[in-house]
Amino acid sequence: MIAIIKTNNPVTLNFAGAVLKSADIAYFIADTHASILDGSIGAIPRRVLVLEDDEMDARAALSGAGLEKELWTQ
């Protein structure tokens, strides 16, 4: 899996998940538990992960939904 968004913003995470779900793209939000353990101070961003084969479709769907500034590039 590959990270396409890294953020601490729960609204962005939820919206990205909804966009990917509606586009029928499997995704996983990683580091949720680590982020909670840090006391929610924002030291550990959560990552939206998709399969490498779905990366281009996921980026297109998220960009089309207005999240192009949130997309992470390695």
Domain ranges of the chain: 2-70
Query: Are the C-beta atoms of 6 and 30 separated by less than 8 Å?
Result: no
Instruction: List, for residues 10-69, the tens digit of each pLDDT value.
Output: 899 999 999 999 999 999 999 876 655 556 566 788 899 999 999 999 999 999 999 999
d(CA 7, CA 17): 13
CA distances from 68 to 6, 12, 17, 35 (A): 12, 11, 14, 23
Class of domain 2-70: alpha beta
**66 CB-side CA count, 13 A:** 3
Question: What is the distance between the alpha carbons of residues 42 and 38, in angstroms, rounded to a whole number?
Answer: 8
| CA–CA distance, 28 with 10 (Å, rounded to integer) | 14
Residue 8 binned pLDDT confidence (cut-offs 50, 70, 90): confident
